Amino acid sequence: MKRFTNDYQRDSQLPVGRRAGDAAVRRSNSGQERILTTRVGLKIPATLSYNRWEKAGLHIFQIADSSAWCLGDWLVYGQERYADRYQTGVQAAGLDYQTLRNYAWVARHFELWRRRENLSFGHHAEVASLPAVEADGWLDRAEQQGWSRNQLRVHLRESRQGNLAATPARASLPRISAPGDRVERWREAASKVERDFEEWILVSLDRAAAHELDR
């Protein structure tokens, strides 16, 4: 099973252009035109094979996925080391604090050695609210079966529904009255992550509880 090691930096396969106005196309030693990355986007050759386009997408996803982990670890360190100043650092970096908190919440629940290199940050986020042993079990299954994040979500939902059927007794939450615009905002957030509204509420409450209990 592959997991992150202490050194999980990857060699860049997409050469970085110095300015957005740099030459749009460069050639590798093999004579092939290469995609260039710039601070404001990609410079893609006019003709690019599907295979090379697909590989570029995979590499970009890996960079973005790694960035989520790195930003989460960065914020966790700041919270623990500079509790009185870390928000100043977040503001200076121009980063969205709520997004970082979500990243940090997942990063805090998975030590580096427990993170699966073959699974995305999103996979880990799906099971972050579960006990460590249970979360690791689901990640093992997702890795072995080659499940996408959405497939893992479906299996988790089916498992929860099965557990509910086996244990029908449930605690009831008090009725909460909230302004309509706030409820619509919550529904929009649930829809954005493709979750059932009730499930989204439960997951959000689990995350909030974990955050408060871990403080």
Q: Are 100 and 71 in contact (CB under 8 A)?
A: yes
pTM over 0.75: no
Predicted confidence at residue 165, as pLDDT, reads 52
Distance CA 168, CA 22 (A): 63
Q: Per mean pLDDT, which range of 29-33, 103-107, 196-200 is the poorest? A: 29-33
- The amino acid present at 149, given as its one-letter code, is R
Give 202's DSSP letter: H
Band (215; pLDDT cuts 50, 70, 90): low
Q: What is the DSSP string of 125-140?
A: HHHTTS-HHHHHHHHH
Q: How far is residue 180 from each of residues 21, 187, 196, 205, measured CA to CA in Å?
A: 48, 11, 18, 19
Neighbours of 168 (CB within 10 A): 6
How would you class 72 by CB atoms within 10 Å of its CB: exposed for 0-12, middle for 13-18, buried for 19 or more? buried
Predicted confidence at residue 26, as pLDDT, reads 45
In this prediction, residues 172-182 reach a mean pLDDT of: 72
Between 68 and 165, name the one with better pLDDT. 68
Tokens of 135: 């979360």
pLDDT by residue (tens digit) across 68-80? 999 999 999 998 8
Predicted confidence at residue 207, as pLDDT, reads 76
Distance CA 36, CA 28 (A): 11
% of the chain residues with pLDDT over 70: 75
pLDDT by residue (tens digit) across 108-128? 999 999 999 999 999 999 999
Band (23; pLDDT cuts 50, 70, 90): very low
pLDDT by residue (tens digit) across 34-54? 888 888 899 998 888 899 999
Cβ burial 103-132 (10 Å sphere, 16+ → b, else e): bbbbbbbbeeeebbeebbbbbbbbbbbbee
Q: Going by C-beta distance under 8 Å and a sequence separation of 6 or more, which residues neighbour residue 133?
A: none
